[in-house]
């Protein structure tokens, strides 16, 4: 394996307890990936809440690595789909890629690797269940990809994806990509309930890792709320939750 890092890419991560370092050593053995610069690995798993509680030690959180990992992951998945799905159109490839790199999928990958066990959290975030928070787990997976890219380059990242992500594509785990907005529109039209309106009600996080909060309204009444890394992703999640709400109402009405 070629080491792609430079001195500018090294992130200082001072004085982690020995027990924590040993835990990350176990993780590397488990993943069969040994980092040349282990500070990058530690950085990938450091949440901002941990940084806030250790200001004197100048720790860095994983948000910049998450930003990089998001782009690297999208490139790796795009290359794989381009090679293996020659019959799919650009639109179909885009939709499939979106399903692979969306938050719920990243959470699944992260959980399968037990990444939540390794996240460095502040005490407050720990007490409020941050270790199992979907957005946090998705961010850590992307940050790990970013760290691996800086440490060893795209070839090693793709080798990792071949083991963790690509097999799921090959067996069709993402083949039934649901357009929840279209499905919700069909449900509403069946009942002649009126027009749907999607509205971004909040934008959270720094510019390089922004999250959008969107609500879908029917006759000015909220049906569902969703969070996503893009407005489209947030709208799809809002529509999915709205569908669950409508189906629950239907079931209750029949009982």
Q: Which of 61, 66, 139, 142 is catalytic?
A: 142
**237 among known catalytic residues:** no
More reliable by pLDDT, 27 or 104: 27
Pairing of strands 196-204, 221-228: unpaired
Tell whether the model's pLDDT for residue 3 goes beyond 50.
no
Q: Is 70 a catalytic residue?
A: yes
pTM above 0.85, yes or no: no
Task: Compute CA distances 137 → 8, 176, 242, whole Å.
Answer: 27, 24, 24
Domains of the chain: 7-170 (1.10.1520.10), 180-254 (3.30.160.20)
**pLDDT of 83 above 80:** yes
Give the pLDDT band of residue 186 (cuts 50, 70, 90): confident
- From 37, 66, 70, 125, the catalytic residue: 70
**% of the chain beyond a pLDDT of 90:** 49
- CA 211 to centroid of chain Cα atoms: 11
The percent helix, strand, coil of the chain (3-state, each to 5) is 65, 10, 25
> How high is the pLDDT of residue 215?
98
| Residue 64 or 244, more confident | 64
Residues 232-245 pLDDT 10s: 889 988 998 898 88
Give strand pairing partners of 66. Answer: none
Above 60 in pLDDT, residue 24?
yes
């Amino acid at each position: 394996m070629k080491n792609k890092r430079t001195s500018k890419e090294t992130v200082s991560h001072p004085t982690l307890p020995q027990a924590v370092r040993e835990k990350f050593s176990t993780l590397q053995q488990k993943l069969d990936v040994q980092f040349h610069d282990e500070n990058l690995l530690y950085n990938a798993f450091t949440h901002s809440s941990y940084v806030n509680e250790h200001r004197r030690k100048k720790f860095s959180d994983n948000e910049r690595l998450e930003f990089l990992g998001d782009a690297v992951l999208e490139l790796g998945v795009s290359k794989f789909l381009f090679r293996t799905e020659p019959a799919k159109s650009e639109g179909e490839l885009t939709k499939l890629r979106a399903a692979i790199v969306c938050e719920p999928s990243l959470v699944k990958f992260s959980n399968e690797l037990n990444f939540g066990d390794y996240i460095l959290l502040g005490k407050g975030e720990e007490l409020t269940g941050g270790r199992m928070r979907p957005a946090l787990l998705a961010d850590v997976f992307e940050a790990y990809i970013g760290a691996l890219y800086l440490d060893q380059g795209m070839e090693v990242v793709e080798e990792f994806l071949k083991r963790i992500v690509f097999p799921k594509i090959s067996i069709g785990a993402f083949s039934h990509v649901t357009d929840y907005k279209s499905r919700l529109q069909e449900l509403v039209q069946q009942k002649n309930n009126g027009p749907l309106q999607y509205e971004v009600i909040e934008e959270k996080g720094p510019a390089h890792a922004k999250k959008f909060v969107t609500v879908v309204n029917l006759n000015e009444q909220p049906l569902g709320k969703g969070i996503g890394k893009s407005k489209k992703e947030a709208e799809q999640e809002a529509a999915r939750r709205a569908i669950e709400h409508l189906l629950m109402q239907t079931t209750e009405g029949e009982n």
